Amino acid sequence: SAVISQKPSRDICQRGTSLTIQCQVDSQVTMMFWYRQQPGQSLTLIATANQGSEATYESGFVIDKFPISRPNLTFSTLTVSNMSPEDSSIYLCSAGRPNEKLFFGSGTQLSVL
């Protein structure tokens, strides 16, 4: 199994500012992902964090809005840029190895005023 530490656990931010969320995995994993859960909605994949290269974004998500870094196998960051109230969501980091189940961090509850 893998333990995923995600921080901050929650934040309240002003419109127009940016927030960086950190994700640390306690073991080396191949895959890391970032998900978003908007109120009353399912978990939606934002992007796959690739080690040492640009993240792979899903339709509807762009690098300028959600820049992602993954400098090594166990650490990744997601930045929510130029925030608006519509960005208020839970952001979740997940990680795993091929052919194994995904593990999730505890999430970051973001509120944008």
Partner 1 sequence: DQQVKQNSPSLSVQEGRISILNCDYTNSMFDYFLWYKKYPAEGPTFLISISSIKDKNEDGRFTVFLNKSAKHLSLHIVPSQPGDSAVYFCAASGGSGYSTLTFGKGTMLLVSP
In sequence order, what DSSP letters do the residues of the chain get, joined into one string?
---EEEE-SEEEE-TT--EEEEEEESS--SEEEEEEE-TTS-EEEEEEEPTTS--EEPTT--TTTS-EEEEETTEEEEEE-S--GGG-EEEEEEEE-TTS--EE---EEEEE-
Which of 32, 34, 76, 103 touches partner 1 (CB under 8 A)? 103
99 binds partner 1 (CB under 8 A): yes
92 binds partner 1 (CB under 8 A): yes
Interacting residues toward partner 1 by CB under 8 A: 4, 6, 9, 31, 33, 40-45, 48, 58, 92, 94, 96, 98-107, 109
